Amino acid sequence: MIKAEWFYWLVGLSFLVMASQMLTDRSNPKRFGTAAFWGLLGAGFVYSTWVVEKKAPAEPLGAAVLLMIVLAGFGFTGRGTPRTTTPGQREASALKLGNRLFVPALAIPVVALLCAVVVKKLSIGGEPILQEGSETILGLGIGAVVALVVGMIMLREKRIAVPVQAGRSMLEAMGWAMLLPQLLATLGTIFQLSGVGTQVGKVTTSILPKDSLYVAVIVYCVGMALFTVIMGNAFAAFPVMTAAVGWPVLIEHFHGSAPAVLAIGMLAGFCGTLVTPMAANFNIVPAALLELKDQYGPIKAQLPTAGILLGCNIVVMALFAF
Amino acid sequence: MIVLLGVLVVVVGFATKRNALLVVGVAGIVTGLLGGLSPREVLAAFGSGFASSRAVTIFAITLPVIGLLERYGLQEQARRLIARFAKLTTGRFLALYLGMRQVGAAVGLTHVFGHAQTVRPLAVPMAEGAAERKHGRLTEKSREKVRSFSASADNVGLFFGEDVFLAVGSILLITSFVNTTYNTHLEPLHLALWAIPTALCALAVHGWRLLRLDRYLERELVAANIEPVAVEGAAK
């Protein structure tokens, strides 16, 4: 049986390899901090296996996470000069290869989907090939490996170091922002443990008429959008609103379909992302990039769409999730 | 009620543009302590939270192959693909860009298009070029509008396309949060399927608004360019 944890080790291992490359990259003025950050992340990925199985204490990992926050939060990480092709070389190569370049990239979702739908049902000697419940994650991993092999054969690239270096450059370019979604999920867990969701739930249920399904749907969707506007990120709003309204009211009390309620709830949050200057990388940075006089130009262009889509989400959830 | 101060920390932190990781770290510590956890339990909460949300970060495994393809001109080929549609009107071109962005994100190519890579160097010049071809010089107001709508086409396409791809961060966040918090089992595939209705709505709504942009430009520019001599005279 192929286990999800093997794949997490592969991810952790590639972070560790990239961290060792960062350590020797003299073009990066902050190479030690950068290497420490990604090295801790890689080691954390592997160590987590035993935390999840409750065979190792979670406190050291928590300390490592805080250390990563300090390293990135106080600017100890940086990036080196990526070793890559020149624009001219890329132009020539694109001309030569054409749309074939999309083939390896498309192999990732195709393999992921095959794993989640077909391979999921296969088993050898009564044991499923893919670990139950992790088929999607495994599909993504297998898809990425398959795509890499296909890509290397297609491009006649023999050195594995080339894609690893390319991946490392992309990691450095994304920087600590790549860890943000995972930390927001962690924050969600802490909010949950400390009872933030229950508090928001108490506040909302005291206002909310108990037996009105439609009002509850509106409160969840509009709440997701508003919280996202405030926090700038639907990932941070999701655990709070779900613990407050989504899970206890919509799923447990009204017996809504969990995948429908939660997926649409997240998309309601995205409507908030479209209209908040807090989501700077989507709304304010492009305004600067496009040299707009009005830095809220993109938000103004998105506002009516966000409003209508929030309405669509409410309608789709109310019609199909219950 | 006092644990809600943690939410306030996040709000104030993001509002004053502090480093996002620090905001999240401080908010987690504050909320944990206010919620009655001991410092040791706070550390453990960070650790186990990190361990159970690893799924959100695993898209990193696709970076080497995407990086390899970019070395060989993936971005350039994406540009070439859009450039084939250079003869369209502004609205139609941007609606097409929205559709391509959405389809790309839906198959996991979230980094192939984007504001820096495609919108600024390609989508904006082509959208403006289409308007100029038809109406002559753009007013400043209409130029701002075309650029704002170009940025919006990228955002809307990305946001409401990527959730259809089952291995994207937000889908994995939903499953890892719900599966650990409520001891249940949700399939990413089912969540991704439920993203399709909204994705279609987004394509219809924003696509329609982008098409309407042509009418706006028509009204705005026909009026502005009707007496070009007078405009130049006024500018003197």
Q: Which of A98, A196, A290 sits opposite B124 (nearest CB)?
A: A290
Chain A positions touching B183 (Cβ under 8 A) are: none
Q: Check if the beta carbon of residue A49 is closer than 8 Å to that of residue A12.
A: no
pLDDT at position A86 is 86
Q: Kindly tell me if the per-residue pLDDT of A157 is higher than 70.
A: yes
Most confident of A52-61, A172-181, A205-214, B183-192: A52-61
How close B7 gets to chain A, by Cα (Å)? Answer: 8
Range of weakest confidence among A89-98, A143-152, B13-22 = B13-22
Is it the case that residue B228 has pLDDT exceeding 70? Answer: no
Q: Would you call B71 and A195 a contact, using CB atoms and an 8 Å cutoff?
A: no
Closest partner residue to B159 among A84, A147, A274, by Cβ?
A274
Mean pLDDT of chain B: 84
**Residue B226 confidence class, pLDDT cut points 50, 70, 90:** low
- Mean pLDDT over residues B109-122, rounded? 77
The pLDDT tens digits for A268-289 are: 999 999 998 878 778 888 888 8
Size of interface A-B (CB pairs under 8 A): 444
With 80 as the cut, is the pLDDT of residue A191 above it? yes
Query: Is the pLDDT assigned to residue B161 strictly greater than 50?
Result: yes
Q: Which of A107, A53, A281, A189 is nearest to B116 (CA)?
A: A281
A-contacting residues in B 104-123 (Cβ below 8 Å): 107-109, 111-112, 115-116, 119-120
CA B131 to chain A, closest CA, distance in angstroms equals 17
Return the higher-pLDDT residue of B146 and B223: B146
Instruction: Write the pLDDT tens digit of every residue in B39-90.
Output: 999 999 999 989 988 887 887 888 888 889 888 888 788 777 777 777 789 9
Interchain CB contact of B206 with A (< 8 Å): yes
Please give the share of chain B, as a percent, with pLDDT higher than 70: 94
Contact A69 B144 (CB under 8 A): no
Contact between A163 and B68 using a beta-carbon 8 Å cutoff: yes
d(CA B31, CA B21): 15
What the block records as the tokens of B39 is 């410092």
Question: What per-residue confidence (pLDDT) applies to A151?
Answer: 92
Q: How far is B160 from chain A (nearest CA, A)?
A: 7
- Distance separating alpha carbons of residues A202 and A205, to the nearest angstrom: 5
Q: Which of A270, A148, A93, A64 lies closest to B62 in space, CA to CA?
A: A148
Q: Is A298 on the interface with B (CB under 8 A)?
A: yes
Q: What is the pLDDT of residues B182-221, one digit of tens each?
A: 888 888 888 888 999 999 999 999 999 999 999 999 888 8
Contact B155, A217 (CB under 8 A): no
B69 and chain A in contact, CB less than 8 A: yes
Residue B231 confidence class, pLDDT cut points 50, 70, 90? very low
Q: Give the per-residue pLDDT at B232.
A: 44
- The pLDDT confidence band at residue B227, using thresholds 50, 70 and 90, is low
pLDDT of residue A66: 95
Mean pLDDT to the nearest integer, A214-226: 93
Interface of A with B in 71-110 (CB under 8 A): 72-74, 84-85, 89-95, 97-99, 101-102, 104-106, 108-109
**pLDDT at residue B96 in the model:** 93
pLDDT band of B133, cuts 50, 70, 90 = confident
At residue B200's C-alpha, the angle toward residues A259 and B210, to 5°, is 140
User: What pLDDT sits at residue A75?
Assistant: 85
> A105 CA to chain B: closest CA distance, Å?
7
Q: What is the pLDDT of residues A21-66, one digit of tens each?
A: 888 888 888 889 999 999 999 999 999 999 988 899 999 999 999 9
Chain B from 10 to 29: CB within 8 A of any A CB: 10-11, 14-15, 17, 19-22, 24-25, 27-28
Whether the CB of B4 is below 8 Å from some CB of chain A: the reply is yes
Contact B34, B2 (CB under 8 A): yes
**Lowest-confidence segment of A226-240, A304-318, B162-176 by average pLDDT:** B162-176
Mutate to test the interface with B, among A17, A52, A59 (most CBs of B within 10 A): A59
A237 touches chain B (CB under 8 A): no
Among B47, B120, B155, select the one facing A61 at the smallest CB separation: B47
Q: Are A8 and A138 in contact (CB under 8 A)?
A: no
pLDDT of residue B236: 43
Which residues in chain A touch residue B105, judged by CB atoms under 8 angstroms apart?
none
For chain A, give the mean pLDDT.
88
Interface check A283 vs B, CB under 8 A: yes
Higher pLDDT, A309 or A95: A309
B84 in contact with chain A, both atoms CB, cutoff 8 A:
no
Distance from CA of B218 to the nearest CA of A (A): 18
* Per-residue confidence (pLDDT) for residue A28, from 0 to 100: 84
pLDDT at B167: 64
A147 touches chain B (CB under 8 A): yes
Q: Which residue of B has its CA nearest to A310?
A: B198
